Amino acid sequence: MALKELLLFTLENILDGLSEFGNESYKLRMITKFIFKPYVQDLVQDLNKEFSSEEGNRAYPRELILGVLMYCSTIHIHDLTGIARECRVNRMLQFFTCGETPSASTFRRFFKENNRLTLKKIFCCTLLEFNEEKFLDFSRLFIDGTDALVNGSIHYKITWDEITMLQYAKQWKILHNNRKQSMERFLTELKKKEEFYKDDEEMIKLIKLALKRPEIYNKRIYKKIPLFTEALMGRKQNYVSIMFPESIMMRTKKGKFDFALNLQQMMLKNKIVFGGLLLDKPNDSRVLEEVLIDIKETIEILLDLQKKYGIRRNYKEINSLLERTTFILDSGYFSDHNLEIADKYAINVLIMPKVIARQRNNKIRAENNLEKKNKNTKNDDKISKKQMKRVLDGYICPYGQKSTLTSDDFIIDNDRNKRKGIPEHWKDRKYKHEFKCPIDCPFRHKCNHQLIIDDISPLKYEMTNKFTNKRYMDMYNERFSESESINGYIKNTAGIFKLLTSDKTSAQKEIYIINMTYNLVRFNNIKGTAY
């Protein structure tokens, strides 16, 4: 960028240029004002220092690239090429960039090379603004997971055997460079190797594998072998995505499998995002500790920003967030691991038990004249525990009889209970519920559950009891308006969210930018209705 154009990149010049677009430029003006705020500028200067080399072309100001990415997230452009194109065709955006048109590689470099923590601090500047206006409500914190899909084909993957063959191709000096002549040479040399190793069964197997997919045996993919091997370590699958090795194959919300990361969004009341964290875990059953560590980091950053730039002095309120907030999570998080982590960190948590979720969903299905799930299809002559309503300390049978909790004995022969040094209330117990079935019960021939046994920990049992209380159920129901609207915001019109970048660190920075943009729009909406 030339010096003349750099001088034009100021708050006044940009706002003046955007004024001719009226309300159409509302979001871009809002983003411009945000990135030129003193505390954001202080942080952006840290990013600019990373690109202050005297060699080569002058780098674009980092706030310019940040502003473009923020604006494009508001119009749901989900690829770097599309963002670069928008800089060329969007006349309004050209006023912001002073006529400059950064390329896709510029945006890719921004994600790859900028400091993660600095971008998280810029995201936390939106929380600072909420806090200054007393919009942050720390009474509830909602955690919800959604799929962050890789922007690449599910079929573009590589296996251990193909990695081994890549190494042989390098050793034989036949790797190609994707050009026609180079590819033909690769196939010719591979045929020679096939003839040479015709008596070696294992080698022939690898060579035939290469002949099926010759396109992946190139120099560029060979350089990614360390990423592939690191990603494959400890995984059950024998393959990884070539585009995004750190992603995992997981069942998405659409019911299909795809390469993705698990995006954990943390939300406060008033539909405010408090954080977002990408994890390489296929479900939510073992994520709570990493989420809590991320929340603690966010609290520390917010405290630091508040002390340095804020007027309010509510440091104690911010610092005690983990102690005083009720964390609310859906049934996907209901696991011994997550409950133990909540107990370890001494946080007040509400995680819907699966038995209550099933009960609740069946009630909704019945109201909409839909067939209930979890019907006892294996043996229609018997009534299973899943078909009974869970109530405080027990169950209600189809005849309306409530069970009595008769004992909760410690289970001796249990692998989970043999863990060393764990508290007693983390150990599984045998909760026995007995029914006093009347002789005239019409279900006697179908029900052999005069005794129901739950082999679970006190943590799970007590959480299940909580959800038989209307008060806790009402608290849980608050999550729908908060989490569904926020996770819905980041998805495109097809109801999916695709990552722009191809490595986990860059993708995490992408999440910070999406969330800071969402919060900025939300802040202006709340502020516009609060006065």
For residue 369, being part of any structural domain is answered with yes
Looking at 208, 241, 274, which one is the last position of a domain?
241
Asked if residue 143 is part of any domain, the answer here is no
Q: Are residues 94 and 191 in the same domain?
A: no
Instruction: Note whether 36 and 101 are same-domain residues.
Output: yes
Distance CA 488, CA 357 (A): 22
Predicted confidence at residue 3, as pLDDT, reads: 40
Domain count, the chain: 3
> Is residue 427, in this structure, part of any structural domain at all?
yes
- 315 inside domain: no
Give yes or no for a contact between 483 and 267, defined as CB atoms under 8 angstroms apart.
yes
Q: Note whether residue 334 is domain-resident.
A: no
Q: What is the pLDDT of residue 9?
A: 87
Place of tokens 């109201």: 367
Give the closest residue to 498 by CA, choosing from 483, 479, 514: 514
Residue in 351, 311, 341 with CA at minimum distance from that of residue 465? 351
Half-sphere exposure of 113 (CA within 13 A, CB side): 15
Q: Name the burial class of residue 448, with classes exposed (0-12), middle (13-18) and buried (19+) by CB atoms within 10 angstroms of its CB.
A: exposed
What integer pLDDT is reported at residue 287 of this predicted model?
97
Boundaries of domain holding 386: 353-457
Which amino acid is present at 314?
Answer: N
CB–CB of 511/263 below 8 Å?
A: yes
Among 405, 433, 457, the domain boundary falls at 457
**Nearest residue to 511 via CA among 232, 174, 116:** 116
DSSP class of residue 61 equals: P
Tell me, what's the pLDDT at 466?
Answer: 96
Q: With contact defined as beta carbons under 8 Å apart, do 276 and 489 qualify?
A: no
> The pTM is what?
0.91
Instruction: Write the CB contacts of 135 (distance below 8 Å, at least 6 apart in sequence).
Output: 270, 272, 523, 526, 527, 530
Please check whether residue 257 lies inside any domain of the structure: no
> DSSP readout, 127-140?
HHHHHHTT---TTE
Task: Based on the fold, state whether residues 38 and 95 are members of the same structural domain.
Answer: yes
Residues 360 and 443 in one domain: yes
> CB within 8 A of 133, min separation 6: which ones?
523, 526, 527, 530
CA separation for the pair 39, 429 (Å, rounded): 53
Does 482 reside within a domain?
no
Does a structural domain hold residue 188?
Answer: yes
* Closest CA relative to residue 478, chosen from 327, 377, 311: 327
Contact 376/433 with Cβ under 8 angstroms?
no
Tell me the chain's radius of gyration from C-alpha atoms.
28
Residue ranges in the chain modelled with pLDDT below 70? 1-7, 50-58, 372-381, 448-449, 482-487, 492-494, 529-531
> Exposed, middle or buried: residue 32 (CB in 10 Å: 0-12, 13-18, 19+)?
buried
Residue 67 Rama label (left phi>0; alpha psi -120 to 50; beta): alpha
Asked whether 411 and 429 are in contact (CB, 8 A), the reply is: yes
Of 194, 218, 241, the residue that ends a domain is 241
Residue 496 has a pLDDT of 82
| pLDDT at residue number 484 | 64
Task: Give me the pLDDT at residue 369, please.
Answer: 73
pLDDT at 130: 97
Query: How would DSSP label each residue in 83-132?
Result: HHHHHHH-HHHHHHTTT----HHHHHHHHHHS-HHHHHHHHHHHHHHHHH
Do both 373 and 444 map to the same domain? Answer: yes
3-state SS, residue 223? coil
In this predicted model, what pLDDT tens digit does every residue of 350-395 receive, in sequence order? 999 999 998 888 877 777 777 766 555 555 667 778 888 899 999 9
Cα–Cα distances in angstroms (integers) from residue 15 to residues 10, 27, 34, 42, 527, in the given order: 9, 12, 12, 21, 20
Q: Which two tokens stand for residue 70?
A: 């923020």
Chain centre distance of CA 133 = 28
- Same domain, yes or no, for 23 and 108? yes
